[in-house]
Amino acid sequence: MQIFPPAADTAVRFAVLVLVIAMVGLPLGAWEYLQSTYETQVGWVQDQPVPFSHAHHVGDDGIDCRYCHTSVETSARANLPPTHVCMTCHSQIWTGAPVLEPVRLSMATGEPIRWRRVAQLPDYVYFNHSIHIDRGVACRECHGDVTDMPLMRRAKPFTMQFCLDCHRDPAPALGPRELVTHPQGLGWTEAQKRAHGERVMRKLGIKPDELDNCGVCHR
Ligand code: HEC
Ligand code: HEC
Ligand code: HEC
Ligand code: HEC
Ligand code: HEC
């Protein structure tokens, strides 16, 4: 006995097929998405012992990166600020705030605050801040606009491709040296950036064809 006409049969089969694709496909898609952000960690934040906000301190209060990340111009590492840097202000303002209790405790005991890292490379990759800053590569090229970050998050995928894309064509990333810590930059067009960068490359003798040698980053 035939309950459905043959046409309905095709429709049912099609509906079942769609359902199966949805059931298998959606979780697979979600899994792939998670995998990709899992690998690159872009957009990830970490729970921190103190909810330190770059949006407030840099965006609202206008504190320069170098006030806290003191060695970024002179050495490979940018450094995280020791507790007494926080206390230059927080012994005066927000002195009783419960969120700052771990800061006061760290000051009293001498135990450093243990920040969880969000921007980190594997050990086998060599990176150096000072050379990038010296050439006018701004913090925002690699760390994004931190005035938009109530909690620090990973802005760019620190993959090999990310490094190589710029090393093979650095011109658009070479901005004015005095604006390296500016969180947004000048809002130049791509053409303006490139024209400025090409002048810098000629002046400093930057050679992209040598910047993708393996030994630059794997020493
Ligand atoms: C140059 C002064 C200055 C320094 C240095 C400073 N802060 Fe602040 N902080 C402020 C001001 C001003 C506020 C008031 C909040 C605002 O701007 O909205 C604040 C607010 C806060 C708050 C309250 C939540 C918030 O963001 O509104 C926390 C938590 C905090 N600071 C943590 C720290 C830590 C941790 C350090 C050291 C790494 C630090 N601050 C260094 C000036 C400073
Ligand atoms: C008042 C101090 C202060 C200022 C100013 C400041 N930072 Fe920070 N920064 C911190 C602290 C404290 C941490 C560690 C906690 C966190 O990750 O938010 C940090 C963490 C970071 C990290 C993550 C490092 C990692 O691997 O976990 C980056 C990137 C960073 N800052 C970039 C910047 C840039 C770019 C600027 C300027 C545009 C800036 N910061 C200005 C205090 C500061
Ligand atoms: C060319 C890309 C690039 C630029 C430009 C850059 N950083 Fe970084 N930054 C990185 C990488 C990559 C790491 C991770 C280094 C590691 O784990 O060895 C890092 C790590 C950090 C850290 C964590 C502490 C440390 O030293 O490892 C801070 C803080 C930081 N950067 C702040 C800054 C500030 C402030 C500026 C601008 C003055 C800046 N960075 C410019 C790529 C960059
Ligand atoms: C936005 C552009 C940009 C990005 C992104 C970038 N770099 Fe660079 N890098 C440069 C420039 C420009 C120089 C300086 C080249 C010169 O002066 O010859 C440089 C130089 C270097 C040097 C020093 C080379 C030497 O001869 O001493 C190292 C090491 C380095 N980069 C590693 C990295 C790593 C690792 C990454 C990725 C995590 C990275 N860079 C991402 C632009 C960039
Ligand atoms: C401008 C910097 C830079 C240069 C130049 C560079 N690498 Fe890398 N390399 C990286 C970074 C950053 C990672 C870490 C990637 C990650 O954690 O996802 C990496 C990772 C690797 C890995 C680990 C496996 C992987 O793919 O994640 C190998 C192998 C490697 N690089 C080989 C090379 C070889 C061979 C060359 C020369 C042809 C080279 N690299 C040139 C930055 C660089």
- Can you read off the two tokens belonging to residue 174? 């070479």
Q: How far apart are CA 155 and CA 167, in angstroms?
A: 18
Beta bridge partners of 153: 45
Domain definitions of the chain by residue range: 1-40, 54-80+115-217
pLDDT reported for residue 45: 87
Ligand 5, atom 9: closest residue by C-alpha? 160
Tens-place pLDDT, residues 94-109: 999 999 999 999 999 9
Locate 166 and state its tokens: 């710029």
Report how far apart, in Å, the C-alpha atoms of 27 and of each of 30, 45, 198 are. Answer: 5, 24, 46
**Rounded to whole angstroms, what are the CA distances from 92 to 55, 70, 88, 95?**
20, 22, 7, 6
pLDDT in tens, the chain (219 residues): 455 555 556 555 545 545 555 555 555 555 555 556 666 788 888 889 999 999 999 999 999 999 999 999 999 999 999 999 999 999 999 999 999 999 999 999 999 999 999 999 999 999 999 999 999 999 999 999 999 999 999 999 999 999 999 999 999 999 999 999 999 998 899 999 999 999 999 999 999 999 999 999 999
Pocket test for ligand 1, best of 79, 94, 147 (most atoms within 8 A of CB): 94
Distance 80 CA to ligand 2 centre (A): 7
Supply the pLDDT for residue 6: 56
What pTM, to 2 d.p., does this model score?
0.91
Ligand 2 is surrounded, with C-beta below 6 A, by: 48, 52, 54, 57-58, 63, 65, 67-69, 80-81, 115, 117-120, 139, 143, 146, 152, 181, 183
183 CA → ligand 2 middle, Å: 12
Rounded Cα–Cα distance for residues 79 and 82 (Å): 9
